Structure 1
Amino acid sequence: MDLARNCRPLLAAVTGMMAALFFAVGASGQTVVNVALPTGQPPMVIEKSAKRGLVFDVVDALNSMQGEFRFQVDDYPAERLMVSYDEMDVHIIAYSDAKWGWGDRGARPSLNLTNGRDLFFTLGGYERDPSVTEEIAAVRGFHYAFANYDSDLLSQMPNVTLVSDEESVLRLVENKRVDKGIVSEAFLQWIALSKPEVYSRLKIDFDRPDHSYNRQILVLPNSPVSVDQINDLIWKMIASGRLQSLYARYGLHVPDALNKSRSNTLDPVRYFSSLITLGAAAQGNAW
């Protein structure tokens, strides 16, 4: 009895290790790759519970293209992700930018998947009182050039109304609760597709963006899948036209540098030359 009782802790530990190994490899023998979402904003993520949005579609495509890895999206708390990512068993960050602190944490970026901008917009025909300070709607915790990329400074600006997401920014502008809002160009493209009647009422300042950025798939040091393997899958989606099709669902366009490479796949020399050139460019952009 004593021997059995003394062995229970060891048995529990072994069982736990076996369970962890089982889930890491997966029931099908595939290696699990945990994917974190850096944003809950449309169109990247439209509805987490229903797994709607571009990120979910791209992850599904990655899973259908190969059998070695099983990419699974997990909802990690955004505020904790940057601080505790190494304790949370996160392997890759989907559609973030290495410049947003991840490069300093050892993340390697894939090829650039979007060329993004944050844009100011107003309601068409709206005229504000010039004697009153302009009121701006923005997303709490985001980093904008007009606030020196400082979210703490942003929260202290008296003429800024902070909300939880870009859809709320849009509603404030629509209801004339603020003079103008700031959202991503990707969000506006999604609105143009999903709510054209709303988009038609907006006056968007395309010529003076707040700032520009790119998004990539970021591969963390503990990831079982390499950045080269991710890039290989991206190129295959580009060559088949699948990535372009997924983007079109949300009113988005694949960056020109990637899209043009599709025609190069017919010429092996030009194709592999483009891989080298664009791969080097992606590394340079991230640091």
Structure 2
Amino acid sequence: MSVSRQYLCKLALLAAFLLDGSLSMAHADTVITFGAYHFPPIADVDHNKQPRGLLGDLIPALEAAHDDLDIRIFHTSPKRRYLDFEAGLYDVILFESADWGWATRAASISEPILVEEEVYVALDKPGRGQSFFDDIASRSIIAMSGYHYGFADRETDPEELQKRFKIEFSDNHNRSLQLIKADRPSVAEITIINRSFLHNHWSQKNGTGPSLLISEKPDQRYVLRIVARKDSPLTAAQVFGLLRPLIADGSYAELVSKWGLQLPDNLAGQRAAVSGRPE
């Protein structure tokens, strides 16, 4: 073989390698791990480590909209989520408020993707009205461990909370409601539950069981965002960008509505602009 033919063969092999490599890169999956903890119906993980709620619906919708996206789930807890985040055990967590300890961490935070609020819940008994919620500190409280509450100034340290309130901790909302319905005032007179959970709870129970007294004034209203580690494969803004096709075609709004949740103003406005009609 002549030198020129050898050279041309090498060029051809190199070109084929580079072309194949570029095609592989173009079709390589972006693998990203989402953290999730018990926060129904917004996010949760079942006993098979599969996501449920809004997050469970959203992940396949995102993967369907982006065929190069591979989303994994890491199950954490409300208390442990910060340590797991900083340890790099997951890259991104959706549906978090910047006020829940994220603003001071090495993370990127997106614009709002969801709004929700929590209310006080007690057993509806004769003589009780909205004034029952006037002095929360005088009531026995059952609360979720690791959650940030408005009445407690978002303090999460259990020892500090027990110094200030008559408070016990639960690991799920159903248990909290069971304690309220058991009518044991020395244990639990009030719990704090997000409205969407109550909406889904009533739908499942078909209105059966003891009546509940719900506060008209929320404990807190929160704006939820995407939080990503500084060395995550995607920034929070880039993950938000993955949502845009679902926002544009209205499918994200449908998922949010399905779980009794609300779009933030910035997304409701975008949806109105796309649909051509006011919200």
TM-score range, shorter chain: 0.7 to 0.9
Partner of 1:245: 254
Which amino acid letter does the alignment assign opposite residue 76 of structure 1? T
Q: Deviations over 1:88-130 (max 9, x none)?
A: 34211121122322222222222312222221022223557x9
Structure 2: gaps spanning 5 or more residues: 1-23, 133-137
Q: Deviations over 1:210-242 (max 9, x none)?
A: 222221121221121233332223232122111
Q: Deviations over 1:153-178 (max 9, x none)?
A: 22334522322222211111111123
TM-score by structure 2 length?
0.74
TM-score by structure 1 length?
0.72
* Cα offset, 1:54, TM superposition: 1.2
Q: Percent of counterpart pairs with the same letter?
A: 24
> What is the CA–CA distance in structure 1 between the aligned matches of 2:84 and 2:44, rounded to whole Å?
25
**RMSD between aligned residues:** 2.9
Point out the more displaced range, 54-63 or 40-49.
40-49
Partner of 2:191: 181
- Seen in structure 2, the aligned counterparts of structure 1 residues 192 and 257 have a Cα distance that, compared at 3 Å, is farther
Q: Which has the higher strand share?
A: 2
Local SS of the residue matching 2:99: helix
Local SS of the residue matching 2:202: helix
Tell me, yes or no, if structure 1 residue 44 matches structure 2 residue 42.
yes
Partner of 2:109: 109
Local SS of the residue matching 1:32: strand
Q: Is the 8 A contact 1:193 1:251 kept in 2?
A: no
Local SS of the residue matching 1:101: coil
* Cα offset, 1:205, TM superposition: 0.9
The number of residue pairs the alignment matches comes to 238
Tell me, yes or no, if structure 1 residue 137 matches structure 2 residue 142.
yes
* Cα offset, 1:61, TM superposition: 1.3
> What is the CA–CA distance in structure 1 between the aligned matches of 2:85 and 2:52, rounded to whole Å?
24
> What is the CA–CA distance in structure 2 between the aligned matches of 1:231 and 1:156, rounded to whole Å?
40
Partner of 2:14: none
Structure 1: gaps spanning 5 or more residues: 1-24, 268-287
Q: Is the 8 A contact 1:190 1:252 kept in 2?
A: no
Local SS of the residue matching 1:55: helix
Local SS of the residue matching 1:138: strand
Partner of 2:55: 55
> What is the CA–CA distance in structure 2 between the aligned matches of 1:116 and 1:108, rounded to whole Å?
21
Partner of 2:91: 91
> What is the CA–CA distance in structure 2 between the aligned matches of 1:154 and 1:51, rounded to whole Å?
30
Q: Is the 8 A contact 2:223 2:264 kept in 1?
A: no
Q: Which has the higher helix share?
A: 1
Q: Which structure is larger by alpha-carbon Rg, 1 or 2? A: 2
> After TM superposition, where is structure 1 displaced by more than 6 Å over at least 4 residues in a row?
none
